[in-house]
Structure 1
Amino acid sequence: MPTELSIVVHGPNTQGHLAGLLDSVAADPAPDTEVVVVAVGDWARDTAREHAPGAVLVPLPDGTGDAEARAAGAARASGRWLHFVHAKDGLPPGAPALLAARAAQLPDTVDVLLFDHVRTAWRTSGLPSWDSRLLARAGRAELTLDGLPALLRLTPLLGNRLIRAEHWRAHADALATDDEAYAAQTVLLTAARIACCTHPGFEHRELRPESLAPRTLDDHLALLGRYEALLAATRTRTAPHAVLYHLMVRDALRTFVRAGMPERDARVFFHRASEAARRLRPAGLRHPAGPEGLRRTLLEEDAYARYRALQSANHARRAARTALRAGRRKLGTQVRAVQYRRALARPVDPDLAVFSAYWNRGVACNPAAIAAKLAELAPQVHPVWVVAPDRVGLLPPGTDHVVPGSRRYWEVLGRAKFLVNNVNFANAVVKRPDAVHVQTHHGTPLKRMGIDQMRYPATAQGLDFEALLARIDKWDYSVSANSHTTRMWERAYPSRFVSLDHGYPRNDVYYTATAADIAAIRARLGIAPGRRALLYAPTHRDYEAEWTPRLDLATLADRLGEETVLLVRAHYFHSRTASALTGLRRAGRVLDVSAYEPVEELCLAADALITDYSSIMFDYANLDRPIVIHADDWETYVATRGVYFDLMAEAPGPVARTQGELADILTSDAWCDDEAGKERAMFRRRFCEFDDGRAAERIVRRVFLGEPEEALPAIIPVDRRTPAPTPQEATAS
C-alpha cells in the first residue's frame, strides 16, 4: 500500500529541539506515514540516528539553507502528501495520524490541506493560534483561493499545511526559496483547490529574538520584496491581490513600529514602504489596514517627520512618568545609581578586567585560570576581583579586589573593558556596548540548566527566568569544554553569545601539573606515600531540604581497609556518623576536604574518583584515572532535576546502585580493569574534547588580545594528550 503522508523534518538542530520532535513522532507512530529527516549538520545527524532510527535519513552539511533541505527531503519522500516540519518545531500528540486520515479522504483535485496550529515559546507552550476562527469559517468544504481569499491571512508557515507531493514538484522552482512565508503563500496561490481542518496539527516554536542573529535593514526590506513578488503574481486576481496588499501594509507597519531599527534604517524602511504602498495600491481601495495615525500617513508624501514628532511626544510623556517613579526610590539606591551612571558615562578602560567566581567567593575556577594566564600574556590588563566581605581574608596576598555595593565596586564595573564570571553578575550591571562579558560556566551539564529547568518544580522554585534571560543577553562569549556543552548551552541559554570552544581553563592543570606538584599536594593533605586516596564528591539534590548522607562513611572505610584514604568533599558530616568517624579522622583514613581550595588539587591527589551526578566527573576524566559512579537515587534525580543524557548507559566507569555494590567494586579490580578503561576512554573522547592544557591561553589570546581563531593553538586530540602523572608515578619519581 502506498504511503499516504511523508513528514519531512528538516534543518539544523536549533537549540536542541530536534530530539523532542523525533521522540514525539516515535512515541505515537501513525499508519501509512513515513518520516524523512533532512539533518543539517553533525548534531542533527547524530540526533536523528539516536532518536529516529527507523526514519529515512538525508544528511546535509552545516549551512545548508531551508530551501535546499526541503527539496532534498521531498526528493526522498514517497508519500502522496508532504508535511514540512522544521527541526525546531513540533507535532501535537496524534497529529500525524489525524492528518494522514484526513488527507486520505481528499481527491487529487485538492492540492493543499490547511489546519490549525499551536504556539510555543521559551516560557509558554501550547497556546492557541490566531487562525482558529478563519479555519472554522472555511469549514470542511473544498475551496478555491479566489472564493475565500482570506485564507491568505492564515499564519504563513509550511508547517500548518499539507501539500500534495505532485503539486509541490510541479511548482518546485517557484518554491525554491529560504523565505518560508513566501513559499507558504505561493503554495496557496498555485493550488487549484484547498481543504481545511480545524484540528491543530503543528506546533510552531517561536525562538527568543535575543537568541537569533540581529535583523539587518536588508532583512526588513526583504519583507517588502516578498510582497512585491506576491502582488505581481496576483495582478489579475482581484480578491487575493487586495488581501495581499492589506497584509503588506499591516506587516510593514508592524515592522516599522516594533523592529527597533536604528534611526537611519527606520527612515529608509519607512520611505521604501511608503513608496511601495502608493505604487501598488489597488484602484478604489480607501485605506489600508493598520494603526491609526500610520495607516493614513503611509500613503502620504513626507509623512516620516510628522510621525516621528508624534512618537517623540509619547516618549517624553513616558519618560516623565518613569522619572517620577524613580524619584520615589530610597536615597541609598539613588546615590549608588548616580555613582554607577557616572562611571558608565566615562570611557571604558581597555586595561581593566573584573573577575568573579561562585557568587563572589574568591579567586577560583575558570576565571582564576584565565586571570593567571592573563598576567603572563597580557600583563598590561589589570585584574580586579569581586569578593564577598566574609571571603576577603582568604584571598591570595596582593589580590586587588572590591566588595559588592561599595563605591569602587560600581566604579570598576562601570569602566571595565572585560567582565569575567563563572555565574552571572548582578542584575543591575549594565552591558556597555564597548565592554566584553565572558561567561566561563563551572561545569559540563548532566543536569538540566537554564530555561530547561522550567519543567522541574523542585529546581525551578524561586527562579526568575525573565531576569535570568536578561543576564544571559549580556554575554558576549560562553566558554565550552566539549560539543555536548556547546549544544546544551545553546538550548538552555537561548541568546546571541559566541561559543568559545576552547576548553575549560581550570582543567589546564590536569595536563601541566608535574610529579613534584602532585607529591606536594598529597603531603599537604597528609596522605602517606603508598596509600590509595579516593576522592568522594557527591552533588546537591534539589529535592532535599537539607543534605542527606548517601554513604555510611565509617562502614565504607572499614571495608576499604587501612591503606585507603577517603577524601570527602561534601556538606558537613551528618551528626549520626560524627562519633564513628572521629577515630578514622585521627588515623588519617577519612579527610574532610569540603573547604579545601582549589578542588583541582584534590583531583590531582586522588587515585580515583567516587561521585554521583556531579560535574566533577567530566573534569576528572581528563586525568584518565578511574571513576566510579554511586547512583542510589538515579530515577528520583532524573524525575526531579532532569538530565541531558542517560548516565547509567554512558558512565565513565562502573556504576553502583547501593553501598554494598560500591564496596564490592572498590575491593576488587572492577574499578580499574580493562572494561572500566574502555568506558572511561569513550567518556573522555566525548566530554574532554577541547581540554588539552591550553584552554586559558586560547581564551586570553582570542578575547583579550583579539587574535583570530585560526591563529590560536590547535586542540590536541584526546588520544595524543599526556595527562599529569598519577600519584604512584609521582611517588616513584
Structure 2
Amino acid sequence: MPRFSIIVPCFKVQGFLRECLDSVLEQCYRDLEVIAVDDCSPDGCGAILDEYAARDARVRALHLPENVGLGRARNAGMPYAGGDYVLFLDSDDTLTPGALRAMADRLAEADDPDVLVFDYARTYWWGGTRRNALARVLAEAGDAAFTAAERPEILDLLMVVWNKVYRRDFVDENGFEFPPGYYEDTPWTFPVMLSAERIVTLDRICLHYRQRRQGNILSTTSRKHFDVHDQYERVFAFVDSRPALASWRPYLHRKMGEHCLDILAKPDRLPPADKGEFFRRTARMFRAHRPEGAEIPAELKALQGGYAAYLVQRQAERAGQALGRRALAARRVAAGRVKRGWTTLHARRPLDPYLAVYSAFSHRGMLGDPAAVFRKAREIAPHLRGVWVVRDAETAAQLPDDVEYVLLDSLRYRQITARATFFVNNVNWPGGLDKRLGSVHVHTHQGTPLKYMGADLLDRPGARLGVDVPQMLRRADRWDHSLVANRHSELVWERAYPCHFSSARTGSPRNDVLVGAGPEEGRGVRERLGVPDGHTVVLYAPTRREYRRGGHVDRIDLARFAEDLGEGHTLVVRLHPSLATGPARGAGLAELHRRGVLVDATDEPHAEEVMLAADVLVTDYSALMFDYANLDRPIVVHADDWETYTAGRGAYLDITAEPPGHVSRSYRELAWLFASGAWRDDGSARLRAAFRERFCEFDDGRAAERVVRTLLLGESMPAREPQVRLPGQAAGRDLLASS
C-alpha cells in the first residue's frame, strides 16, 4: 500500500499535463501512486496519460466515456486509490521539489492526522510567483494537531481541495464525495474541515497554483456561478445531519453571504441581465438559513432588502470610494507642498557642522557599515550628533532606546536632512534629497563586488530588470567618498559609477569585528541560534539569480545536505536579504527550521554575528565571502551554475579560477568535500591565504575609526601598508585588468 494516492483529473490541459505529472513522478519521495482520470478530454490528454502509464507502473490511466466535470472525475479515481493518504492535484498545477517528502515527514511526526493543510504559491503566466497571503496561519498553528473549532482561522485559507492531503480511512468513514457542479470544492472542504478531529499544518510551499492568462471557469462571465447556491445548500444539509456541528451555522451563514456578494460585486462574473436574479436567490437563501437570533454583519445587511436598494448602496459605496480617492490625492498634493516648503525653509539655514545622518539597506535599521561608523563616532567623537533615517515605526521600535531617529519623508526628516553636514549610507539616498554645498556624503557600499553593478548593467538587460541605471548614477553624483576594502573594489566602483567621488581606502567598517576574531567571539550567537556545544557550524549563504524571475533558485537540497553533514554538524542558512520576504522561505526552509533539521538565520539582523558563529562558509557568488575571509576560516564555493550566472549578470572576476577555497561543481562534489574533510585541508588554506591577501587588503580592524577621523573629523591617521601583490602581477586576474 503506497503512502500517497494522487488523483489527477484531466480535461483540455494537454499543454500543462506533462509538467504536472513530471512534478509528481520526479519527487525524491517514491512511495506513491497516480490515478490520472481522463474526463473525456477532446485533446491529447488521454494519449499522454497512456504514455505515462506505459512507462511508470505507479501511474494508472482511467478514461471516462463522457465528460462529468472536475468533482465527479475525482470521485471516479477514488475507488482505485489504495494509499494511506489522498491528494487531489489539478492537472495544470505542479508539486514543488521535495513536497511529498516534507508531507510524509510531517504526517509521521503528527502520528497520522485526519487532514494536513500545506501552503502554495500562485505562479502567473507572465512568470511571477506570489506566496499565499495567509501563510502565517500555517506557521502560527504550531506543531500539535487541532480541530477547526480550536483554530477557526484555518478556515480563512482558500477553501479549495488541492491544498490538503486526507487520510483515506477518514474520508471513507465519513462518506465524503464531490457533487456535480462548478463550486464543488465548497461542499467537500467545509464538511471535511469541520469533521476532522486532528488537523495539522505544513508551513511549506508544496504546490504551484497556475494562474492561467484567461483564468479558470470560475473567473469567466457565465450563469454557471449560480451553482454556488446549490453547493452551500449541500453544506447546510451536511451540518443539519450532524447535530454536533450545529454551532457552525452562524459562521457558514455569514460565509455564504460574503461569498455570494463577492461574486456579485465582481464586474466580470455574471451577465448584467442575471445579476438581479442572483441577488434575489442569494437573499432568499440568506433568510432561509439565518440562525435564530444571529446578528447580521453590516456588510451583509443589504441581503435583507431588495435588489434596487442593493444597487443604490453599491452606487453610494463606489461614489464614496471615488470621493475618498480624490480626497486622498488632494491631501497628498497638499502634504507635498508643505514638505517642499519645509525643506526650503530649513535649507536657507546654515549647515549644522556636528549633525550626521545615517541609513542602511533602504532605511531598514541600524545595520552594516553605517552602523559601525555610527558606533565608532559615538565613541571617539561624542560631539557629533547622529540621527538614523528609518522607513516606519516598526523599524524604529527595533532601535536602541538612546538612538535618535526620524521617519522617512516626515517633516522632521526634511528638517534634519536639510541641515546635516554628513550623510552615511550603503544605499543611495532618495532622489528628492538635494545635496547642499558643504555637505559630505560617504557611501559605504555593501561589500566587495563580484557581479556587475551600476553602469556595467547597461549591457545586461536581464540583470537590470527594474533598475533605472541613469537615475542610480544621478543619485551617485552626490557621493563625496566611496569606501573600499581593496584595490579591486576601487577599480570597480570608479568604472561602475563614473561620478566625481574620491575612493577612500579605509576598509569595510562592518568587518572590524571579524578581523582577528577568535572562535570564542561567536559563542553568544551560537547559543542564541540553538547550536549544541561542540558542533561544527556550516553556514550556507546563497545569493539571488537574475536569470530567474523572483531571484530564488534551489541549488541544494537542504534537508539532504544537513543529513549528509552528519552528527556533530549544524547547518545554518542565511538567504540573500532580497529573498527574505518572498516565497523562498516557504519553499522548505521554514519547515526544516521548525523541525530542527537546520537553523534559518535569514532574519538575524547582523550578518557579521552569523559569520562569527560559523566554522565554514558555503556560498555560491555572494559578496559575503569577501567579508568572511577576514576570519581566516574555510570557505567552499558551490558553483554549479557559474556559466549561467555570469551569462545573465556578468562578473568582474572568475571566482572559480581564483577562489577562497575549494570549488564544487555538483552536489556530489560538495558532499565529498565535507565527507572527506577536504574543505579544511592544506589546499583550502593556501587558496584562502591568496584570496585574503588580495581582498582583505585594507581591512585591519580600524576601518570605522579611519572613516570617522579622516572623513568626518578631518584628522590624519597613519596608513596601513597592505602586504599584497600589485594589481596586474598575475595574468588574467579579473575582467577589469584587461579592460
C-alpha distance in structure 1 between counterparts of 2:456 and 2:639, whole Å = 22
Mapping for residues 290-439 of structure 1, pairs under 5 Å: 330-389=333-392, 390-439=394-443
- Secondary structure at 1:408 match in 2: helix
- In the alignment, structure 1 residue 558 sits paired with structure 2 residue 566: no
Alignment check: 8 A CA contact 1:552 1:577 kept: no
Mapping for residues 457-476 of structure 1, pairs under 5 Å: 457-476=461-480
Runs of at least 5 residues in structure 1 that lack an aligned partner in the other structure:
1-326, 720-733
Alignment check: 8 A CA contact 2:457 2:463 kept: yes
Q: 1:615 aligns with which of 623, 626, 638?
A: 623
Mapping for residues 82-101 of structure 1, pairs under 5 Å: none
C-alpha distance in structure 2 between counterparts of 1:670 and 1:544, whole Å = 32
C-alpha distance in structure 2 between counterparts of 1:351 and 1:626, whole Å = 43
- In the alignment, structure 1 residue 712 sits paired with structure 2 residue 718: yes
Q: 1:628 aligns with which of 636, 656, 659?
A: 636
Q: 1:591 aligns with which of 576, 599, 603?
A: 599
- In the alignment, structure 1 residue 577 sits paired with structure 2 residue 588: yes
Deviation at 1:427, TM superposition (A): 0.6
Query: Percent identity at matched positions?
Result: 47
Deviation at 1:562, TM superposition (A): 2.2
Deviation at 1:662, TM superposition (A): 0.8
Alignment check: 8 A CA contact 2:539 2:614 kept: yes
Q: Deviations over 1:110-167 (max 9, x none)?
A: xxxxxxxxxxxxxxxxxxxxxxxxxxxxxxxxxxxxxxxxxxxxxxxxxxxxxxxxxx
Alignment check: 8 A CA contact 1:701 1:712 kept: no
Alignment check: 8 A CA contact 1:539 1:612 kept: yes
C-alpha distance in structure 2 between counterparts of 1:349 and 1:604, whole Å = 38
- Secondary structure at 2:447 match in 1: coil
C-alpha distance in structure 1 between counterparts of 2:585 and 2:424, whole Å = 36
Mapping for residues 173-184 of structure 1, pairs under 5 Å: none
Distance 1:378 1:482, change over 3 A: same
Q: Deviations over 1:155-187 (max 9, x none)?
A: xxxxxxxxxxxxxxxxxxxxxxxxxxxxxxxxx
C-alpha distance in structure 1 between counterparts of 2:386 and 2:358, whole Å = 7
Aligned to 1:542: 546
1:658 partner amino acid: S
Alignment check: 8 A CA contact 1:554 1:580 kept: no
Aligned to 2:486: 482
Alignment check: 8 A CA contact 1:439 1:478 kept: yes
C-alpha distance in structure 1 between counterparts of 2:491 and 2:712, whole Å = 25
Aligned to 2:658: 650
TM-score by length of 2: 0.51
TM-score by length of 1: 0.51
- Secondary structure at 2:342 match in 1: helix
Alignment check: 8 A CA contact 1:652 1:680 kept: yes
Alignment check: 8 A CA contact 1:475 1:497 kept: yes
Alignment check: 8 A CA contact 2:544 2:553 kept: no
Q: 1:450 aligns with which of 447, 450, 454?
A: 454
C-alpha distance in structure 2 between counterparts of 1:515 and 1:577, whole Å = 30
Alignment check: 8 A CA contact 2:372 2:509 kept: yes
Alignment check: 8 A CA contact 1:694 1:713 kept: no
- Secondary structure at 1:457 match in 2: coil
2:454 partner amino acid: G
Runs of at least 5 residues in structure 2 that lack an aligned partner in the other structure:
1-329, 726-739
Deviation at 1:394, TM superposition (A): 1.6
Deviation at 1:704, TM superposition (A): 1.4
Deviation at 1:463, TM superposition (A): 2.3
Distance 1:626 1:718, change over 3 A: farther
Alignment check: 8 A CA contact 1:692 1:715 kept: no
Aligned to 1:688: 696
Q: 2:686 aligns with which of 678, 685, 702?
A: 678
Deviation at 1:347, TM superposition (A): 0.6
- In the alignment, structure 1 residue 667 sits paired with structure 2 residue 675: yes
Alignment check: 8 A CA contact 1:339 1:410 kept: yes
Distance 1:607 1:636, change over 3 A: same
C-alpha distance in structure 2 between counterparts of 1:399 and 1:603, whole Å = 25
Deviation at 1:521, TM superposition (A): 2.0
Distance 1:505 1:575, change over 3 A: closer
Deviation at 1:553, TM superposition (A): 0.7
Distance 1:507 1:574, change over 3 A: closer
2:548 partner amino acid: E
Deviation at 1:468, TM superposition (A): 1.4
Q: Deviations over 1:590-627 (max 9, x none)?
A: 10000002110111110000000000000000111000
Deviation at 1:396, TM superposition (A): 2.1
Deviation at 1:578, TM superposition (A): 5.7
C-alpha distance in structure 2 between counterparts of 1:658 and 1:704, whole Å = 48
Deviation at 1:514, TM superposition (A): 5.7
Deviation at 1:580, TM superposition (A): 7.1
Distance 1:385 1:328, change over 3 A: closer
C-alpha distance in structure 1 between counterparts of 2:630 and 2:673, whole Å = 22
2:522 partner amino acid: I
C-alpha distance in structure 1 between counterparts of 2:641 and 2:386, whole Å = 43
C-alpha distance in structure 2 between counterparts of 1:476 and 1:552, whole Å = 45
Q: Deviations over 1:12-50 (max 9, x none)?
A: xxxxxxxxxxxxxxxxxxxxxxxxxxxxxxxxxxxxxxx
Alignment check: 8 A CA contact 2:516 2:630 kept: no
C-alpha distance in structure 1 between counterparts of 2:522 and 2:618, whole Å = 19
Alignment check: 8 A CA contact 1:653 1:679 kept: yes
Aligned to 1:506: 510
Deviation at 1:364, TM superposition (A): 0.5
C-alpha distance in structure 2 between counterparts of 1:617 and 1:496, whole Å = 29
Alignment check: 8 A CA contact 1:698 1:712 kept: no
Mapping for residues 132-143 of structure 1, pairs under 5 Å: none
1:364 partner amino acid: L
Deviation at 1:477, TM superposition (A): 0.4
Aligned to 2:528: 524
Deviation at 1:462, TM superposition (A): 2.8
C-alpha distance in structure 1 between counterparts of 2:527 and 2:417, whole Å = 40
Q: Deviations over 1:366-402 (max 9, x none)?
A: 0000001101111000100001113122212221111
Q: CA RMSD in A?
A: 2.1
Distance 1:342 1:538, change over 3 A: same
Alignment check: 8 A CA contact 1:502 1:699 kept: yes
Alignment check: 8 A CA contact 2:354 2:383 kept: yes
Alignment check: 8 A CA contact 2:426 2:444 kept: yes
Aligned to 2:496: 492
Deviation at 1:548, TM superposition (A): 2.4
